[in-house]
Structure 1
Amino acid sequence: MRNRSFWRKAGVFFLSFLLTGSLFLTSNIPSARAGDNDGTLSQETTWKKRQLRALWVASVTNIDWPSAPGLPIGQQQQEFIQILNEAKELNMNAVVVQIRPTADAFYPSKLNPWSKYLTGTQGKNPGYDPLDFMVREAHKRNLEFHAWFNPYRVSMDTETDQLAPNNVARLHPDWVRSYGGKLYLDPGLPEVRAYIINSVMEVVNHYDIDAVHFDDYFYPYPVSGIDFPDDPTYQKYGADYPDKGDWRRHNVNLLVEQLSHAIKEAKPYVKFGISPFGIWRNQNTDPTGSDTNGLQSYDSIYCDTRTWINEGWIDYVAPQIYWNFGYAPAAYEKLVDWWAHEVNGKNVHLYIGQAAYKIGHSTEAWDDPEEMPNQLLFNNQFAEVKGSIFFSYKDVKANYLGFRDRLKNDLFKYPALIPTMPWLDDNPPKKPKLLKAENKSGSAVHLVWKDQSKGDSTAFAIYRFSSAKEISLNRPQNLIATVRKNGNGLQTFDDRTAENKPAIYVITALDRLHNESKPSNPIFVR
């Protein structure tokens, strides 16, 4: 994951390092028939009823939340509520929140100190449980909460005296390596692997999260001419791997596999997703790789994403395809197509990591207000692409080149249900019974229904139709809201968008993996 201000300051230099070729190469989207996988598309938005729509909310260096360390509890909470309200207003359905950015915690932990990004001092108690608060508030708005962990990063600098006494780097300095001006845990150590898994499972076991999320940071991104200092570990544990790169990939694979099994053993419904760097391997290295010419995550940060997908260790993959259409070293359209083929037929969802932070800032191509909308429309051409995650919240909120408005008024005009994962659960709840739908003086239509799912439901979908012949749950335009279940009693909703016109209402029940019941009985409102 990238800090937008970092890209602004070092964009040309850093991208030149990551991707060979000129940063200033620009290209118009070629004109061709919609449906060709070359970056072209129909100009008319095609909405989808099921589509993950998520925001990354980064806490490291206070990128998104909290806006600064040491804020009063009330201000911290209000800032987060604003993020959730903004997400809901844009018809998002998930937030991916960084709760362990640097071997620290946004929750009371027996393994990690309180994060300094909360209070300004690592280890200082903020006076409440931020994670419990965030999960509850997200669920109130029927937003999935994906708990985002950075597994190996210990510190954004090498100043150990600023770390809390119970920080892993101070308790186990032999586990820690200094590289590129930061501190990292050594992925080759079994003790490190156990510590990371225990850190994640502490959250899985004690909080009602919907998913565990890792980003692209595994072994650190390479510093030119300097190898990661893990030779002693390799000598001790790498005898079966003559190639050090294979051994490093094995270490990461073990973490992913063992954590995957631990999550599913504890809570089978909790998803596990990873957002790798956008390029796995280039064709000139591996003929099965993408038609690109940039840094290869398989070789440079030792991410064997293909194995994670093929083995079913992850439930979703969200590659960070942070480049524009036609970009010579790594064209957006080529990478979406490659990843779509990679997940085809697998029990893994593909979500695309979208570079909202580049809109209006990076290169000439990103000065085109249609670049990001066109990327989202292009995604819709692929059955394998199940949604998008935007980096990050503040860049979407900033409305660069009117992108936020475009989401609200066009691209995400209607709500969407999160795609189901039938390999985890495919048993829908029982349908609800709609008891009442009445027009309250033209200001709203008041709906009341009874949940008949016997505890299997967590939320409900509200549909509105203009006539009986229009009744179909397949049209996204008829889905007007999703609401969280409120206890076990009667459920209510006020439709304030009805415009005082005759309408027919139908309710469905959703379980926590978004399986949908059959529709309730319809009720006509004049």
Structure 2
Amino acid sequence: MLHVRRPPVRLTLTLAAVLFATAVLGLGLLRAATYSAPAAYSAPVPSAPFTATDSCGAYPTKATRELRGMWLTTVTNIDFPSRRGLSEAQVKAEYQRWLDLAVAQRHNAIFVHVRPSGDAFWPSAYAPWSEWLTGRRDGKSPGWDPMAYMVDEAHKRNLEFHAWFNPYRGTQPGPVGPGADFRKLAPNHPLIQHSQWAIAFPKGKTARLYFDPGIPGARKFVEDSMLEAVRKYDVDGVHFDDFFYPYPVAGQDFPDGASYAKYGAGKPKADWRRDNVNTLVREMNTRIKELKPWVKFGISPFGIWRNKTTDPTGSDSKGLEAYDAIYADTRKWVQQGWLDYIVPQLYWTIGFDKADYAKLLPWWAALVKDTKVQLWIGQADYRVGEEGDWSDPSQLDRQLAMNDEYGVQGQVHFSAKQIQADRLGAVTRYRDKHYAAPALVPVMKQLPASPPPAPALTGATRAGGKVRFEATGTGTSWALYRVNGQTADLVATGRGGTEVVDPAPPAGPATYCLAGLDRSGNEGGVSAPIAVAA
């Protein structure tokens, strides 16, 4: 098969500035902008190597391999659910509409916020039900399992489901959240049961509670709470964003002196904090793979590791440094192979003085080179329409073109509501230019591989502007190819067991082939061609 990237386009330079919801998502995204068990699943198993034909009759098959996704944010109901306390039917209907949006954008993954702050969107032994779902802080069940539904519905549409967790956040600031007031927590909140793990930071109205990253028992509990979801549900990925230790606040230090005195072992506090985060990342990678080796693990960190003025191996930038400010040694995570993918949040324009997209992207591309870690980019759809260069509807289009030039293997867009809004037509612009055809997820060689044998197309019917096929043996998912000139191009994908359909066939006769893929996206053999009359 020919695995293709999108053609590059000409790039230009631009600037940026922003304001975002700091009280909700924290200073991370503001600084990033400005700097001031369902039984149905089955595991892939090793099998004898299968040689794919990689052709549809005489024509080579051709498909783009690229992760395309969006973040669906639940905290304070930014994206979903639209408000607290909706009925089961309302939540399900809203979620289906978000999935329909993802399909319309030709995405192949969705990143759903299932643990925003010490809570859960599933029945958990480790956390209370999320108030952003139930509308309450009493810990009582809504009477159904949203996580099971969300995973199943995503898979029906052949979307990977990446469960998005915030490990150490225990609450959201008031007045929308309980802040640092223990009296406002759900009675079964773990920071009531283990108050010695709780740290309030910062002082004042924006205070929230954190699980202390320096206490081994707290770290183990946080890991266990997330792994519970991996164990119970058929998720495709475990996903963290940039929040570990909190972003700095002028004149205040995170008050973890007690745990540092007990567990610091004489290390400088900054090194000890970095070690705490490194341990969480390393252990999560190990434990996920022990539990379900096919589940991907990735993190979307702040877009600057260190500036080269601080460290000659850093990027040509002038902004906040994740290594020093929030103790996230993102470079080490890649070098040690603790991740399957990394999604740096490059939420700046091409040419922005402090953090130039055109300079940061090559730094990240060089970092992942010759590692097993795939580079996907976090794209700032939420900034479109701001003053300055974000008022140019071509900015994201140009960034995606640059991603192609540097071999980036995917994009994740922040966030779902911004894609829906399509301000300035920017989303439609990059979708039509860069996501015009479906894409298969990029293969990760470190994951289990069990490509299926060639399926069979046994019949076809043209009706209602579509071509529908009878097929057997499609694997975990299927890929439909249609001969177009000298290649057979990918025209549709779907989950195994769902109907094989070409949604937009040509008016004239056409020739098709079908391939099956395993859980990890490895493609097996290609079927014999089938001709469909006009």
TM-score range, shorter chain: 0.7 to 0.9
Residue 5 of structure 1, CA deviation = 4.4
Q: What SS is found at the alignment partner of 2:526?
A: coil
Q: Closer, same or farther in 2 for the Cα pair 1:65/1:462, shift >3 Å? A: same
Residue of structure 1 equivalent to 2:8: none
- In the TM superposition, residue 240 of structure 1 has moved relative to its aligned partner by 3.9
- Spell out, residue by residue over 1:153-177, the C-alpha distance to the aligned partner (whole angstroms, 9 max, x if none): 0011212222111101111111000
Alpha-carbon spacing, 1:208–1:296, altered in 2? closer, same or farther (3 Å): same
1:506 aligns with 2:517: no
Letter in 2 for 1:370: S
Q: Contact conserved, 1:56 with 1:391, CA < 8 A, in 2? A: yes
2:484 matched to 1:459? no
Q: Please list the CA deviations of residues 83-127 of structure 1 after superposition, one character each: whole Å capped at 9, or x if unmatched.
A: 000100110000000000010000000010000001111213222
Partner of 1:67: 82
- 1:66 is aligned with what amino acid? P
Amino acid at match of 1:187: P
CA distance in 2 between partners of 1:3 and 1:107 (Å): 32
Q: How far, CA to CA, are the matches of 1:8 and 1:445 in structure 2?
A: 46
Provide, for residues 22-75 of structure 1, a one-character-per-residue CA deviation record: whole Å limited to 9, x for no partner.
xxxxxxxxxxxxxxxxxxxxxxxxx97011101000101111110100111111
Would the aligned equivalents of 2:22 and 2:30 in 1 still touch at CA under 8 Å?
A: no
User: 3-state SS of the aligned residue for 1:409?
Assistant: helix
- The reply on whether 1:482 has 2:493 as its aligned counterpart is yes
Q: 1:158·1:182 contact (CA, 8 Å) conserved in 2?
A: yes
Number of equivalent positions: 479
Instruction: Say if 1:462 and 1:55 are closer, same or farther in 2 by CA, change over 3 A.
Output: same
Write the distance in 2 (CA, Å) between the matches of 1:288 and 1:48. 36
Displacement after TM superposition at 1:329 (Å)? 0.4
* 1:283-331 CA-partner distances (Å, limit 9, x unpaired): 0110000000111001111111122111111100000010001000000
- The answer (yes or no) to whether the contact 2:20–2:30 under 8 Å persists in 1 is no
Kindly provide the CA deviation profile for residues 410-462 of structure 1, in whole angstroms up to 9, marking residues without a partner as x. Answer: 2211000010001113442211112112334x63322111107xxxx210001
In the alignment, the residues of structure 2 paired with residue 77 and residue 307 of structure 1 have an alpha-carbon distance, to the nearest angstrom, of: 40
Distance 1:498 1:247 in 2: 59
| Structure 2: distance between partners of 1:9 and 1:426 | 37
> Does residue 222 of structure 2 align to residue 196 of structure 1?
yes
Deviation (angstroms), 1:188? 0.3
SS at match of 2:229: helix
Residue of 351, 358, 361 corresponding to 2:376: 351
Q: 5 Å matches for 1:75-474?
A: 75-122=90-137, 123-156=139-172, 157-180=179-202, 181-241=207-267, 243-361=268-386, 363-383=387-407, 385-440=408-463, 443-451=465-473, 457-466=475-484, 470-472=486-488
CA contact (8 A) 2:197 2:212 kept: yes
For 1:131 and 1:72, the matched residues in 2 are separated by: 15
CA distance in 1, matches of 2:152, 2:462: 31
Amino acid at match of 2:393: P
Query: How many angstroms apart in 2 are the aligned matches of 1:7 and 1:115?
Result: 18
How far residue 8 of structure 1 moved from its aligned partner, in angstroms, is 12
Match of 1:25 in 2: none
The amino acid that maps onto 2:317 is T
Q: CA deviation at 1:17?
A: 10
Distance (whole Å) between structure 1 residues aligned to residue 503 and residue 365 of structure 2: 39
Deviation at 1:15, TM superposition (A): 4.5
SS at match of 1:509: strand
Question: Is the 8 Å Cα contact of residues 3 and 63 (structure 1) preserved in structure 2?
Answer: no
Distance in 2, matches of 1:66 and 1:522, equals: 44
Alignment gaps of 5+ in structure 2 = 1-17, 37-61, 173-178
The 1:519/1:354 distance shift into structure 2, 3 A limit, reads same
Over 3 Å counting, the alpha-carbon distance change for 1:9 and 1:220 in structure 2 is closer
Give 1:504 deviation, angstroms. 0.5
Please state how far the C-alpha of 1:353 moved relative to its aligned partner: 0.4
Q: 1:68, 1:3 → 2: CA distance?
A: 23
SS at match of 2:524: coil
Equivalent residue letter for 2:401: L
- Cα distance in 1, alignment partners of residues 213 and 527 from structure 2: 52
Distance 1:341 1:325 in 2: 18
1:14 Cα deviation (Å)? 5.1
Cα distance in 1 for residues equivalent to 2:183 and 2:80: 25
Aligned to 2:528: 521
Question: CA RMSD of the aligned region, Å?
Answer: 2.2
Q: In the aligned structure 2, how far is the partner of 1:8 from the partner of 1:201?
A: 25
CA contact (8 A) 1:90 1:407 kept: no
Partner Cα separation in structure 2 for residue 49 and residue 409 of structure 1: 15
With over 3 angstroms needed to count, the CA separation of the structure-2 counterparts of 1:233 and 1:205, relative to structure 1, is same
Q: AA paired with 1:366?
A: W
The equivalent of 1:34 in structure 2 is none
Query: Matched residue of 2:170: which SS?
Result: strand
Amino-acid identity (%): 45
Give the secondary-structure state (helix, strand or coil) at the position aligned to 1:517.
strand
Amino acid corresponding to residue 430 of structure 1 in structure 2: P
The one-letter code of the counterpart of 1:131 is: M
2: CA distance, partners of 1:117 / 1:337: 38
- Per the alignment, do residues 422 and 73 of structure 1 end up closer, same or farther by CA in structure 2, a change over 3 Å counting? same
Matched, 1:54 2:65: no
Which residue identity is paired with 1:340? A
- For the residues of structure 2 that align with 1:405 and 1:14, how far apart are their CA atoms? 26
SS at match of 1:82: helix
Equivalent residue for 1:43? none
Listed as ranges, the gaps of 5+ residues in structure 1 are 21-46, 473-477
Seen in structure 2, the aligned counterparts of structure 1 residues 415 and 3 have a Cα distance that, compared at 3 Å, is farther
Q: Distance in 2 between matches of 1:69 and 1:395?
A: 20
* Equivalent residues of 1:437, 1:505 under 8 A apart: no
Distance in 1 between the 2:109 and 2:254 partners? 35
Counterpart amino acid of 2:300? S
The structure 2 residue matched to 1:497, chosen from 496, 504, 517, is 504
The amino acid across from 2:223 in the alignment is I
Q: Write the distance in 2 (CA, Å) between the matches of 1:101 and 1:9.
A: 9
Following the alignment from structure 2 to structure 1, what is the Cα–Cα distance between the partners of residues 515 and 482? 12
1:522 CA displacement: 0.5
* Other structure's SS at 2:500 match: strand
Deviation at 1:16, TM superposition (A): 10
Q: 3-state SS of the aligned residue for 1:404?
A: helix
The 2-side partners of 1:483 and 1:224 are apart by 50
Retained in 1: the 8 A contact 2:31–2:320?
no
Amino acid at match of 1:428: P
Q: Distance in 2 between matches of 1:4 and 1:412?
A: 27
- The letter for the 2-side match of 1:107 is W
SS in 2 for 1:91: coil
From the superposition, tell whether residues 306 and 251 of structure 1 become closer, same or farther in structure 2 (CA, over 3 Å).
same
Q: Is the 8 A contact 2:512 2:529 kept in 1?
A: yes
Give 1:212's aligned amino acid.
Answer: V
